[in-house]
């Protein structure tokens, strides 16, 4: 099992805009599991505490194999939402671990 973790810092600085952008990212990425069979599980959402030091949005997704993660990365539905997410963020960090 491969766990894919991605965290984003949002470009917006206004709290209302940050909340709107976090909600948009959450909605975009939450739409993917029914479209991409290789996703075993996916959770995404905004940070809820320690705003001054934590990242703004996180995604945690599991895949049976590294090939399944690759299939997700290359799937047309992911390729469609990725630029929309990227347009709202200033920084991105990720890690993939074996469970």
- Residue 44: CATH number of its domain: 3.30.70.100
* Residue 27, domain extent: 2-98
| 69/73 Cα distance (integer angstroms) | 6
pTM passes above 0.85: yes
pLDDT digits (tens, 9 = 90+) for 8-54: 999 999 999 999 999 999 999 999 999 999 999 999 999 999 999 99
Contact assessment for residue 4 and residue 33, using Cβ atoms and an 8 Å cutoff: no
Total domain count, the chain:
1
pLDDT digits (tens, 9 = 90+) for 66-90: 999 999 999 999 999 999 999 999 9
At residue 4, the pLDDT reads 98
Question: Alpha carbon 3 to chain centroid distance?
Answer: 12
At residue 38, the pLDDT reads 98
Task: Identify the bridge partners of residue 80 per DSSP, sorted by sequence position.
Answer: none
Structural tokens at position 26:
């959450």
């Amino acid at each position: 099992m491969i766990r894919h973790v991605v965290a984003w810092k949002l470009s917006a600085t206004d709290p209302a805009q940050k909340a709107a952008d976090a909600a948009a990212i959450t909605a975009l990425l939450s739409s993917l599991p029914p479209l991409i069979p290789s996703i075993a599980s996916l959770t995404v959402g905004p940070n809820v505490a320690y705003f001054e030091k934590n990242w703004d949005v996180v995604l945690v997704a599991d895949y049976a194999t590294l090939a399944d993660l690759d299939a997700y990365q290359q799937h047309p539905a992911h390729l469609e939402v990725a630029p929309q997410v990227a347009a709202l963020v200033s920084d991105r960090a990720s890690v993939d671990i074996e469970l």
